Amino acid sequence: MSYQFFTPPAGKCGLRMKICGLLACALITLYGCSNQRWDPSDYPVTSGETIYSIAWKYEIDPFELARWNGLTSPYRIYPGLRLKMKPTSKAGGAKPTQTRAKRHSGPRPRTVTVRSGDSLSRIAYQYDLSTQQLASINGIKSPYIIHPGQTLRLTASKATHATKPPTKPIARPAKQTTTASLPSENSKINWQWPVSGKLIATFNGNKSDRKGINIAAKEGKAIKAAAPGKVVYSGNGLISYGNLVIIKHNRTYLSAYAHNRRLLVKEGEIIKSGQKIAELGKTGTDSPYLHFEIRKNGKPVNPLEYLPRS
Q: What is the pLDDT of residues 103-151, one digit of tens each?
A: 777 788 889 898 877 778 778 888 888 777 888 898 888 667 888 888 9
Separation CA 125–CA 23 (nearest Å): 49
E strand segments, 114-164: 151-153
Kindly list the structural domains of the chain, giving each domain's residue range(s) and its CATH number in brackets, ordered by start.
42-98 (3.10.350.10), 111-156 (3.10.350.10), 198-305 (2.70.70.10)
Share of the chain above pLDDT 90, in %: 40
Predicted confidence band at 91 (pLDDT cuts at 50, 70, 90)? very low
Q: Is 88 helix (H, G, I), strand (E, B) or coil?
A: coil
What is the mean pLDDT of the segment spanning 69-93?
A: 78
Is the model's pLDDT at 251 over the cut of 60? yes
- Is 99 a residue whose pLDDT tops 70? no
Q: Is the predicted pLDDT of residue 159 greater than 90, yes or no?
A: no
> Nearest 5 degrees, angle CA 175-CA 231-CA 276?
60
Return the pLDDT at 248. Answer: 96
Task: Give the residue, 282 or 87, on which the prediction is more confident.
Answer: 282
Bond from prior residue into 74 cis (ω within 30 degrees of 0): yes
Look at residue 4 and give its three-state secondary structure.
Answer: coil
Residue 134's pLDDT is 87
pLDDT for 306 = 96
pLDDT score of 192 more than 50: yes
Give the model's confidence band at 171: pLDDT under 50 very low, under 70 low, under 90 confident, else very high. Answer: very low
pLDDT of residue 122: 78
Backbone angles phi, psi at 7, to 5 degrees: -105, 115
From residue 220, alpha-carbon distances to 122, 156, 309, 310 in Å are: 34, 35, 24, 22
Instruction: Report pLDDT for 176.
Output: 38
Cα–Cα separations (whole angstroms), residue 27 to 30, 65, 83, 262, 281: 5, 38, 33, 48, 46
Q: What is the pLDDT of residues 272-301, one digit of tens each?
A: 999 999 999 999 899 999 999 999 999 999
pLDDT at position 218: 96
pLDDT reported for residue 206: 81
How much is the average pLDDT of 170-176? 39
Could you tell me which residues come within 8 angstroms of residue 109 by beta carbon, excluding any fewer than 6 positions away? 154
Residue range 48-67: average pLDDT?
A: 91
